[in-house]
Amino acid sequence: MQYKRILLKLSGEALMGEKQYGIDPKRLAEYAQEIKEVVEKGMQVAIVIGGGNIFRGLAGASNGMDRVQGDHMGMLATVINGLALQSALEIEGVETRLQSAIKINEVAEPFIRRRAMRHLEKGRVVIFGGGTGNPYFTTDSAAVLRAIEIEADVILKGTRVDGIYTSDPEKNKDATKFDNISFNEVLSKGLKVMDTTAFTLSQENELPIIVFDMNKKGNLLRVLDGENVGTKVNL
Ligand code: UDP
């Protein structure tokens, strides 16, 4: 295997599966199985999970809510998703720890970098909840930040599309997929991979990003096996 330690970013929306809101238990179980396979290969797996299936601060703000208040709700949503994923992984027999960026000690460990790394070394999956712990950020930024902190080799962004295209493949049937692309090319072509804060943090720290379709069974392992799945963004 090419990578020893990975950080997997899963969006909250992905957890909805066929539903319009919340968590689809079937989808959750599928993800847990995929993650288990990777852990069994001896890979160290950390996960950052989003909260968009429950609440987004921006959506609250557009309805007149205070943005920071909304972002706090969004961060708590990611903790809810983290708990759900932790449960699903434990059902699969995968040892898991949930660490939260906002203190919620009865529910999750606080984020402590050294402790997180120790869990990973012991083969436990570490789920990071609560985003970065700060409003005005996204869980993509949290994913890049945590990946750098724990010295992950790569960040895997599981999405609904199977990589980065020349234009939106759902709108333009002539769009073609990149297998590899540089950070600069993504920026100069105006392609969307992550929000700018997250993307430039990744670029500055030379952390490669792989965008791939997490909903296709076996894809996570395929990516890690070095198969030509998804798009890799590199220097
Ligand atoms: N959020 C935040 N700070 C962070 C990460 C997340 O305030 O560091 C809030 C923000 O309101 C965001 C919500 O949590 O809208 C859910 O996260 P995100 O939208 O990134 O989830 P995803 O799109 O991955 O489901």
Supply the CATH number for residue 175's domain.
Answer: 3.40.1160.10
Average pLDDT of 100-117? 98
Average pLDDT of 99-109? 98
Range of the domain at 180: 5-234
- Please tell me the pTM assigned to this model: 0.97
What secondary structure letter does DSSP report for 13?
G
pLDDT at 53 over 80: yes
**Is residue 160 very low, low, confident or very high in pLDDT (cuts 50, 70, 90)?**
confident
Amino acid at 156: L
Q: How many whole angstroms from 208 Cα to the centroid of ligand 1?
A: 22
Which position has the token pair 């070394």? 121
Q: Which atom of ligand 1 is the closest one to the Cα of 142?
A: 8
* 134 known ligand binder: yes
**Is residue 99 very low, low, confident or very high in pLDDT (cuts 50, 70, 90)?**
very high
What pLDDT, on a 0 to 100 scale, did the predictor assign at position 222? Answer: 95
Average pLDDT of 7-33? 95
Average pLDDT of 139-159? 97
* 187 known ligand binder: no
Average pLDDT of 84-95? 98
Give the C-alpha distances (Å, rounded to integers) separating 230 from 52, 170, 172, 210, 216: 23, 16, 18, 7, 11
181, 160, 171, 179: which is closest to 50 by C-alpha?
A: 160
Average pLDDT, the chain: 96
CB 81 less than 6 A from any atom of ligand 1: no
What pLDDT, on a 0 to 100 scale, did the predictor assign at position 210? Answer: 98
Task: Say how far apart CA 12 and CA 119 lie, in whole Å.
Answer: 24
Domain count, the chain: 1
What pLDDT, on a 0 to 100 scale, did the predictor assign at position 170? Answer: 84
H helix and E strand count, the chain: 8, 9
CB 50 less than 6 A from any atom of ligand 1: yes
Average pLDDT of 80-93? 98
Nearest CA to ligand 1 atom 16: 51
Residues 45, 39: contact at Cβ < 8 Å? Answer: yes
CB 203 less than 6 A from any atom of ligand 1: no
Write the pLDDT tens digit of every residue in 193-235.
999 999 999 999 999 999 999 999 999 999 999 999 999 999 9
**3-class DSSP assignment, residue 49:** strand
pLDDT at 1 over 80: no
Average pLDDT of 141-150? 98
**3-class DSSP assignment, residue 220:** helix
What pLDDT, on a 0 to 100 scale, did the predictor assign at position 204? Answer: 98
**Is residue 42 very low, low, confident or very high in pLDDT (cuts 50, 70, 90)?**
very high
pLDDT > 70: what percent of the chain?
100
